[in-house]
Structure 1
Amino acid sequence: MDALEAILSRKVQRVFADKPVEREKLSKIVDAGRHAMSARNMQPWQFVVIQNRDTLKEIGALCSTGKFVTDAPSAIVVFKDVANARWADVDCAQAVQNMADAGWALGLGTCWVGNFDAAKIGAMLGVKDGWAIFTILPFGYADPKNPPQAKPLKTRTEVVHYERVGNPKP
């Protein structure tokens, strides 16, 4: 699958098949994150790859909107450099997008988690001073009984303008 196809076809996935994710695929996903653009090339991220079932269950229990981490066969926790307050969130979001698209191209789905107990998860994973959790990305294969969700898009005329807001045609 090429990059554009992965971007245009990717869906949100919160239910995973009971099948482990190969380390080689997780390594490729992390490399996609490492290659994201970042302001002044600061690369204000660190990634923790998790495949231990007990750890995933503990993390999932600490996610108020991401309980599905509990049933994922793997996850990547993205840390941000808090000293880079101006750009770290934008840069980490670009890394997350790269990883989500790479995962999809490799046959894996994800949905980033937004609400979690950062202090407890950070302590569990050994976060260093000056770093904070940006998000958690569980990765896994689709459960054939519960396929990934489609993402409805606004119409082009609602979001695309040419030369000036309100002009829908080039």
Structure 2
Amino acid sequence: MKTSLIVSGLILMMMTVACNSEKKEGTFQTQDALENIFARKSVRKYLPKPVEKEKTDLLLKAGMAAPTGKDTRPWEFVVVTERAALDSMAAALPYAKMLKDAPMAIVVCGDTTKSSYWYLDCAAATQNILLAAEALGLGAVWTATYPYDDRMAVVKKEIGLPDHILSLCVIPIGYPAIPHSPKNKWDETKVHYGKY
């Protein structure tokens, strides 16, 4: 019963996003929630085509719909579209080279004054953004900055973060340049019922 409630909640969330997009931002076709989860993949090559403002807004709304401890919402999101900043981060971040081809990125950050576990809430927000990107026909990939001081310093410098705001990750986003297939990550040996 608990599983069916969770699935129902996910489906309701995706339907709400789809309905809101039709009413406010235009019409975008989205996938069923479970279909979307299983279709999500890391995309690292993008077409030279900008992401529409309406879709960017939906990505951010999806991020902010994530669960958060004590409803603190410690997240902050920085949308980066300036070519110089994207190229500079691509050159300096070891696992974000694809930023040189991405038309935009969302940097997911956390306010350390609001929560000591900001990175957990921001991880949930990041997953929501990745799922929303998949649902909207976009490609995206999670590139970590936290807990690496050198990577966080690069992002802080490029986007001007104050000391109490730390970056969790940079998400390059764009339209996929080549077909990508999701990985089947199901592994029944990782499932334990009752006891380990």
The Cα shift of 1:152 comes to 3.8
Q: Return the alpha-carbon distance in structure 2 between the equivalents of residues 162 and 125 of structure 1.
A: 45
Paired positions, count:
162
Residue 142 of structure 2 aligns to a residue in which SS?
A: coil
Q: How does 1:128-167 map to 2 (within 5 A)?
A: 128-144=162-178, 147-155=179-187, 157-165=188-196
Q: How does 1:28-43 map to 2 (within 5 A)?
A: 28-43=58-73
CA RMSD of aligned residues (A): 1.7
**1:44 is matched by which residue type in structure 2?**
P
The Cα shift of 1:135 comes to 0.5
Residue 50 of structure 2 aligns to a residue in which SS?
A: coil
Match of 1:75 among 105, 117, 126: 105
Q: Return the alpha-carbon distance in structure 2 between the equivalents of residues 164 and 107 of structure 1.
A: 40
Q: Return the alpha-carbon distance in structure 1 between the equivalents of residues 43 and 154 of structure 2.
A: 25
Q: Return the alpha-carbon distance in structure 2 between the equivalents of residues 35 and 150 of structure 1.
A: 24
Does 2:44 match 1:14?
Answer: yes
Q: How does 1:87-98 map to 2 (within 5 A)?
A: 87-98=117-128
In percent, how many aligned pairs have the same letter? 36
For the 8 Å contact 1:15–1:148, the answer to whether it is kept is no
**2:192 is matched by which residue type in structure 1?**
H
Q: Return the alpha-carbon distance in structure 1 between the equivalents of residues 177 and 118 of structure 2.
A: 33
Deviation readout 1:88-136 (Å, 9 max, x if unpaired): 1110000000000001000011111125632232122121221111100
Structure 2 vs 1, CA of residues 129 and 8 (structure 1 numbering), >3 Å: closer, same or farther? same
- 2:140 is matched with 110
Runs of 4+ in 1 over 4 A off after TM superposition: none
Higher relative contact order (CA 8 A, sep 6+): 1
The Cα shift of 1:138 comes to 0.6
The Cα shift of 1:57 comes to 0.9
Give the TM-score of the pair, scaled to structure 2. Answer: 0.76
- 2:8 is matched with none
For the 8 Å contact 2:39–2:182, the answer to whether it is kept is no
Give the TM-score of the pair, scaled to structure 1. Answer: 0.87
Which segments of 5 or more consecutive residues in structure 1 lack a partner in the other structure?
Answer: 166-170
Q: Return the alpha-carbon distance in structure 2 between the equivalents of residues 164 and 99 of structure 1.
A: 33
For the 8 Å contact 1:21–1:141, the answer to whether it is kept is yes
Q: Return the alpha-carbon distance in structure 1 between the equivalents of residues 181 and 96 of structure 2.
A: 15
Residue 144 of structure 2 aligns to a residue in which SS?
A: coil
